[in-house]
Amino acid sequence: MFGWEFPPHISGGLGTASYGLTKGLAKSGVEILFVMPKASGDEDSSIGHIINASDVVSKTDVFLENYWTNVNFLSISSSLIPYLGFNDYEQLREESLHKGASVSHLGEKYTFSGKYGANLMEEVARYAMVAATIARENEFDIIHAHDWLTYLAGIVAKKISGKPLVIHVHATEFDRSGESVNQAVYDLEKLGMEEADAIMAVSNLTRNIVISKYNIPESKVFAVHNAVDFSETKATGRNHSINEKIVTFLGRITFQKGPEYFIEAADKVAERLPGVRFVMAGSGDMMNRMVKRVAKLNLGSRFHFTGFLKGDDVNKMYSYSDVYVMPSVSEPFGISPLEAMRSGVPVIISKQSGVSEILKHALKVNFWDVNALADAIYALLTYKGLNNMIVRSGLDEVNSFSWDSAAQLVKRIYIDTLEKR
């Protein structure tokens, strides 16, 4: 399995999904060799043995304990950065070159000379080179590649080993960039989809994009919805120490997440309800534009930008929130609403999200309908009966979702793919 992040070092839902799915597969008897750009050594100790790529090349006989000995990590030197758009990555690299400095990600330094590794595609190629070595020196039945940065690695592993390739589409370039796609990224996504023996998409929304935008036969594309693993955590519960109501947006401040629609709706709610504060928790390329918009609307005294939150800070934010809003323009799935519901927070989600396919106890609006979004926020803050019903039923609903069920479906796809060869 090729990925690029795993708890506790995660940048978004992909790391969480990788952990939940891998854990579920291991429980069902699937042995997994998990390859990632950089394992930091502080991953959950119950996961199993963690191995650096240099060890893999020179010590291929180290396998391995079980998973919690069935999953093992191979760490490779790479500056892959999850969730960073192609243009943003190029800007970061140019700034690093201009400063003559090294870039560090997850504790691994990679020095840019200006001649080599000066673009994201080079990093993808480096990852694929390591994948070739791993494919030559290890025994496995099937290859599973998560998202476009690892598709080339999966393709190379397939060519080297002759084993089937399954790719997992957590997002597409259309989700990240709308219709203004980066052609190089699109081409790599399409290549991965064409070379794959089977494709798993995190929702029917994403499955339809794969079929319609990439011209992939629908017979080899399957929807496997994400879940949330609450088995090792306790519900946070509400913190009532703050008198004012708090409405929260938690996610990357990028085009895909629709932060501008949250701000416009906040302005409308603020006109009607004076005792409400709004929080935008996250970071991204639209941050400065959003700060300026809040200032122009004279919302500064009631609007708070926290920056990127992780771990316990995320749970604390949920505990302070009275309403959680996810107005995504295109959200392949969306795990954060499930986490909010687990904390007893009523949620509002866009109809343009994969999670809306499975959630019944959430208010749903079109991302562009600012008036409907404002009305939904107002209703949850004002009508106690509606709020209580959404919270109570939502908590029951979210606790019914299981990574074990998703893993069983993935295992079935593995078996069917192997049987077709």
* Co-location of 131 and 220 in the same domain: yes
Q: What is the CATH number of the domain that holds 70?
A: 3.40.50.2000
Q: Where are the alpha helices (DSSP H) in 59-144?
A: 86-99, 120-137
Q: Does residue 239 lie within any of the structural domains?
A: no
Separation of alpha carbons 331 and 365, rounded Å: 13
* Co-location of 193 and 299 in the same domain: no
* Co-location of 165 and 280 in the same domain: no
Q: Which residues contact 229 (CB under 8 A, 6 or more apart)?
A: 19, 20, 23, 403
376 is written with which tokens?
């939904």
- Phi/psi region, residue 311 (left: phi>0; alpha: psi -120 to 50; beta: rest), is left
pTM tops 0.85: no
* Co-location of 189 and 259 in the same domain: no
Q: Which of 37, 47, 356 lies closest to 202, judged by CA?
A: 356
* Tally of domains within the chain: 2
For 323, the domain range is 245-398
pLDDT in tens, the chain (421 residues): 888 776 666 666 677 788 888 888 888 889 888 887 666 655 554 543 333 333 334 233 232 233 234 445 455 555 544 555 555 555 555 554 454 443 334 333 333 222 223 456 776 777 777 788 888 888 899 999 999 988 988 998 999 999 999 999 999 998 887 777 888 889 999 999 999 999 999 999 999 999 999 999 999 999 999 887 766 555 556 666 778 999 999 998 998 899 999 999 999 999 999 989 999 999 998 999 999 999 999 999 999 999 988 878 998 999 999 999 999 998 899 889 998 998 899 999 999 999 999 999 999 999 999 999 999 999 999 999 999 999 999 988 988 888 899 999 999 999 999 998 7
Q: Does residue 236 lie within any of the structural domains?
A: no
* Co-location of 182 and 286 in the same domain: no
Report residue 31: phi and psi, to 5°: -85, 130
* Co-location of 250 and 160 in the same domain: no
Separation of alpha carbons 367 and 21, rounded Å: 29
Angle, vertex CA 262, rays to CA 323 and CA 334, nearest 5: 70
Say if residues 84 and 176 touch (Cβ distance below 8 Å): no
* Co-location of 51 and 175 in the same domain: yes
320 is written with which tokens?
């302070």
Say if residues 132 and 164 touch (Cβ distance below 8 Å): no
Q: Does residue 285 lie within any of the structural domains?
A: yes
Separation of alpha carbons 113 and 96, rounded Å: 10
Return the half-sphere exposure (C-beta side, CA atoms, 13 A cut-off) of residue 146: 24
